[in-house]
Amino acid sequence: MVRTGAYAYVKYGYESTFGGSATVDKSFGVKTAVTSLTLGTNRQSLYKLGQVEADKYAYGQQTGSLSLDFILGDVTSGDVFKSIYGAPAGSGTGASNHVYGSDTGSGSSKTFVGQTFTTELGFTGEDDIMVRSFKGCILNTLGITAAVGDVVKCTGDVVYGKEGNPSTSTSAIATEASQPFTFAHGQLTLNGVVQTQIQEVDINFAQNGDLLYQVGSNQAVAGIKKTLDITGRFKVAWKDNTALETVIAQLAGADYKETWADKNGANTPEIELHFTNGVVGNGERKITIIGKGLGLTDHSVSGLEPIEAVFEELNLSIKSAKIVVVNSE
């Protein structure tokens, strides 16, 4: 029988060491989908004199990647930030308050502490159950997008260092977040001022990770996390120049000429993206992303026509970010 996604599941769990043991029981979010999955063997063809066909073959490094789509949810989704910033700090009473990263804007971090994880992909509901396990996973990119009329969507690109032998031993499917976050309970602020008439907003994290191999094994033995790039974008109805002038406030010279007066200090703008489940009190679940060291990469305007609404779009670079997750875990 041809398999469909209706019988599939995907879950993950953080590893104690690269490719090591993990309790695989977490859901990425709501309605998780694996949009691509690739296993490479780097097989080489070896030729010899007097023969046009390959004589022998040799296998190189094993490489793997997968791409994910999921909806940001109110319980489990926040745990995915551990793959970028490591274990969270902070706690609260009632609902739990988890803090990932730092919003100092200093750019002083010298190391990556994000944890690798194991991802399990399986099929249930059939006589022959197939389970694949991908170990030493690095979440290379994480994108979070909110737009009018839609749920808060996430995309992720993963590289992994090794794949376990396929099995038919499945385990319990991870519990998904109970409710998705939506645009209706989102909010964007610049320097503490709530921005109105926002149409779209996204935040993207890129770890630029890679895999390390050694003589004696065709599978990766460690992960390499190089640099962390954080970018943002928002689209808003063009009412005035407030948003643009706020973002480029560090360009203190006339006509927006750069003075280099305060590139990373107190005058650098701050952005905050906030999602909640709309409940007040102990039942409140929320995710807040705070970015500092904000800089404008480009600004554009669309819809300059008599019968169209005019929108402006700002693309941003962000030096550092802090994520605060309030959930029940």
CA distance 152 to 202: 9
Tokens matching residue 246: 């706020």
The set of residues, in sequence order, having a beta carbon less than 8 Å from that of 188 and lying 6+ positions away, is 194, 195, 198, 201, 234, 271, 272, 273, 274
Going by pLDDT thresholds of 50, 70 and 90, the confidence category of residue 240 is confident
Q: How confident is the model at residue 124 (pLDDT cuts 50, 70, 90)?
A: confident
pTM attached to this predicted model: 0.87
The pLDDT mean for the chain works out to: 82
144-173 pLDDT tens trace = 999 999 999 999 999 999 987 766 665 666
- Contact call for residues 290 and 103 (beta carbons, < 8 A): yes
- The amino acid sitting at 137 is C
pLDDT above 60: residue 256: no
pLDDT at position 313 over 80: yes
Q: What type of residue sits at position 71?
A: I
Spatial separation of the C-alpha atoms in residues 105 and 293, rounded to whole Å:
5
Task: State how far the Cα of 105 lies from the Cα of 322, in Å rounded to an integer.
Answer: 10
- Which of 209-213, 240-244, 288-292 is the least confident region? 240-244
State how far Cα 19 lies from the chain centre: 20
Assign 265 a pLDDT band (cuts: 50, 70, 90): very low
